[in-house]
């Protein structure tokens, strides 16, 4: 299996840019690429399927300290790959695990979120924005 990790485009926007979408589409047009995970926006961006394969456009900001409140929401992506009869691996389960970053003492702590938590709802709304829920994305508690 091949997972393409893409670092590009515009920071602090929850919608992928046209360039991000084009890059993901070009990568997934190859039979060699099974999944695209993007980063650089520092905010959560949608998950979606392109050509039957998954893209997580942006996972948020788990490690970089940022002051913007929007950068405190993040998501852990969990993809399960299964080997088919042809020997090709494919994503069979796609999960988004919402998290939230808080300042504690002199550092940052990544905290789990859950139903009823506003951070959880914000993350769920963004990751599902481009049809991911209908394609099988599950929002999972940590």
SS3 content of the chain, % helix, strand, coil (to 5): 20, 40, 35
Task: Using the structure block, give the residue that is written with the tokens 């602090």.
Answer: 12
Tens place of pLDDT for every residue, the chain, 142 residues? 999 999 999 999 999 999 999 999 999 999 999 999 999 999 999 999 999 999 999 999 887 777 788 889 999 999 999 999 999 999 999 999 999 998 888 888 889 998 889 999 999 999 999 999 999 999 998 7
User: Rounded CA gap, 133 and 131, in Å?
Assistant: 6
User: Rounded CA gap, 76 and 78, in Å?
Assistant: 6
Closest CA to 93 of 59, 142, 129, 140: 140
Angle 133-68-23 (CA atoms, 0-180°, nearest 5)? Answer: 50
Domain layout of the chain by residue ranges: 3-139
| Size (the chain), residues | 142
pTM for this structure?
A: 0.93
Closest CA to 140 of 71, 87, 89, 80: 80
The pairing of beta strand 35-39 with beta strand 53-59: parallel
């Amino acid at each position: 299996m091949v997972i393409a990790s893409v670092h590009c485009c515009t920071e602090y926007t929850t919608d992928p840019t046209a360039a991000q979408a084009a890059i993901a589409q070009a990568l997934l047009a190859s039979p060699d690429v099974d999944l695209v995970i993007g980063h650089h926006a520092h905010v959560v961006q949608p998950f979606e399927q392109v050509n039957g394969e998954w893209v997580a456009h942006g996972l948020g900001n788990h490690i970089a300290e940022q002051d913007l409140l929007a950068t405190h929401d993040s998501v852990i992506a969990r993809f399960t790959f299964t080997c088919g009869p042809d020997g090709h691996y494919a994503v069979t389960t796609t999960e988004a695990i919402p998290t939230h970053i808080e300042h504690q003492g002199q550092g940052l702590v990544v905290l789990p979120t859950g139903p009823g938590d506003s951070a959880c709802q914000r993350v769920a709304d963004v990751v599902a924005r481009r049809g991911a829920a209908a394609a099988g994305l599950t929002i999972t508690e940590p």
